[in-house]
A and B are shown apart, each in its own frame.
Chain A
Amino acid sequence: MNVRKIITLVEETLTEGGRPVEPNARVAVVAAVIENPWRGQGFVEDLTAGIDEAASRVGELLAPRVVKALGGTVEAYGKAAIVGLDGEIEHGSALIHTLKFGDHFRNAANATTLLPAVEKRGPAGVTFDIPLKHVTDATIRSHHQSIEVRLADAPHPGEIVIALAAASQGRPQQRLAPLSTEQ
């Protein structure tokens, strides 16, 4: 697996709606730009070989970095696969929709729930929003949130951007009634 570039993004929100957010809200993203394992092969029916080559390794690369970048307990998390223009969205899905990828993050974040995801195909510089949900209970409404990401020169047509996102809290100024109050 060839990794061209690794980016780290940390957003801290200090005010929202004109009011202080205390403590400040932190969301971190770490993304790796990798070669599409299936580039130049035409339509590949069985994606297993590429998954075995890359999925676990990229998960192992990203998970500790995003936990470290966040610098605290991970309360919400999410993932992304952004495929360059020569690939299939299925290629990105193949790499992130496997326990071989996600369990690295689940273990590093003491998480149990499914990772919400975005899969998309686009040119270098495309923006994408990573959805995040609570790490142990995906029905906790306060933690439904997203973060917007853009890499200036990735993915190239034969590349895939794989990203993990982590938040140390729910939305700033979250004040919606919990799901249970509507059931």
Chain B
Amino acid sequence: MTNSATAGPAERAAGIRKIVYYQEEVLLENGTRPPVPALRATAAAVIPNPWIGTAPDKDLAEESRTVAPQIAQILTDRLIEGLGGVDRIEAFGKAAIVGSSGEIEHAGALIHTPYFGNLVREFLEGSSIICFADDRAEAGQPLVVPMWHKTEAATRSHYQTITARISDGPRPDEIVVVAAASTGPRPHARIGDRATDPAVTSRILEGAPA
């Protein structure tokens, strides 16, 4: 239920300054216990931005290949241990926050290539595209990270978010990389699904027959 993984040589090789694991367990929502209780968590790594001082035409591929896979492994290890095993994880998401001296493109280079996304999907045993958020921000700014079902992305009950925040990161020359996961649906998910939705168009809403 909690994360006691300890940073070792892999984390040091990746140049990580700090790793932050954050977990939420909702016991009551609107005063009632969720019928399917879920744990939500983020694992975040604060790393030096490898592209500080480079031009906007710099090819980002080399650093993506070397840095992103290590971060994917480290963050998913923590999610799996913290949430009680990969089999318990049902939804996932990812995010990056670039410090003010970097480009948003640098965030993309770490989380939107196969060197991160494919590996997070593989390690968390999913098949969906991973939904995401990215931002450029000062240290301590919260970022809402979206998640959806890891194998059935359109499963509406699993559309959910968790807020990631590192109190002293990213510094201007750092990037915070986040992986997020949940063991279940929203607390009282009850807004139907694609299979149960009525037909809705603007003409139908204006009174035309369905």
Q: Taking CB as reference atom, which chain B residue is nearest A6?
A: B25
Give the interface residue-count category, chain B: 20 to 34
Other than A2-B31, A4-B27, A71-B2, give 4 A-B pairs with Cβ distance below 8 A. A5-B28, A10-B2, A12-B11, A14-B16
B21 close to A10 (CB less than 8 A): yes
B201 within 8 A of A: no
B26 close to A9 (CB less than 8 A): no
A8 close to B3 (CB less than 8 A): yes
A69 close to B27 (CB less than 8 A): no
B17 within 8 A of A: yes
A132 within 8 A of B: no
The contact sample of 7 A-B pairs, CB cut-off 8 A, is A3-B27, A8-B1, A9-B22, A14-B19, A24-B7, A147-B167, A148-B140
Complex interface: chain A residues within 8 A of B140 (CB): 127, 148
B6 close to A14 (CB less than 8 A): no
Complex interface: chain A residues within 8 A of B2 (CB): 8, 10, 28, 30, 65, 68-69, 71
**How would you classify the secondary structure of chain A's contact residues: helix, strand, loop or mixed?**
strand
Binary contact track A59-81/B, C-beta < 8 Å → 1, others 0: 00000010011111000000000
Given contacts A4-B26, A71-B4, contact A10 B20 (CB under 8 A): yes
Give the residues from 23 to 68 in chain B that come closer than 8 angstroms, CB to CB, to chain A: 23-29, 31
8 Å CB contact of A11 from B18, B26, B31: B18
Give the residues from 80 to 128 in chain B that come closer than 8 angstroms, CB to CB, to chain A: 82
B24 close to A5 (CB less than 8 A): yes
Q: Complex: how many Å from CA A73 to CA B25?
A: 25
Complex interface: chain A residues within 8 A of B16 (CB): 14-15
Nearest chain B CB to A91 CB, angstrom units: 19
A44 within 8 A of B: no
Binding site for B on A (CB under 8 A): 2-16, 20, 23-24, 26, 28, 30, 65, 68-72, 125, 127, 147-148, 150, 152
Q: Complex: how many Å from CA A20 to CA B140?
A: 23
The 9 closest A-B pairs by CB, nearest first: A71-B4, A148-B167, A152-B163, A69-B2, A8-B23, A24-B7, A10-B21, A12-B19, A4-B28
Binding site for A on B (CB under 8 A): 1-7, 11-12, 16-29, 31, 82, 140, 142, 162-163, 165, 167-168
8 Å CB contact of B4 from A7, A69, A148: A69
Q: Complex: how many Å from CA A44 to CA B17?
A: 48
Given contacts A12-B7, A20-B12, contact A5 B25 (CB under 8 A): yes
Q: Taking CB as reference atom, which chain A residue is nearest B43?
A: A10
8 Å CB contact of A2 from B21, B22, B28, B167: B28
Complex interface: chain B residues within 8 A of A20 (CB): 12
A3 close to B3 (CB less than 8 A): no
8 Å CB contact of A15 from B17, B25, B82, B168: B17
Complex interface: chain B residues within 8 A of A147 (CB): 167
Q: Complex: how many Å from CA A13 to CA B168?
A: 11
Q: Complex: how many Å from CA A11 to CA B25?
A: 18
Complex interface: chain A residues within 8 A of B21 (CB): 8-10
Nearest chain B CB to A169 CB, angstrom units: 12
B18 close to A7 (CB less than 8 A): no
Complex interface: chain A residues within 8 A of B18 (CB): 11-14
Q: Complex: how many Å from CA A132 to CA B25?
A: 25
Given contacts A5-B27, A14-B12, A152-B163, contact A26 B6 (CB under 8 A): yes
B28 close to A3 (CB less than 8 A): yes
Q: Complex: how many Å from CA A12 to CA B77?
A: 14
Q: Complex: how many Å from CA A15 to CA B162?
A: 27
Q: Complex: how many Å from CA A14 to CA B17?
A: 5
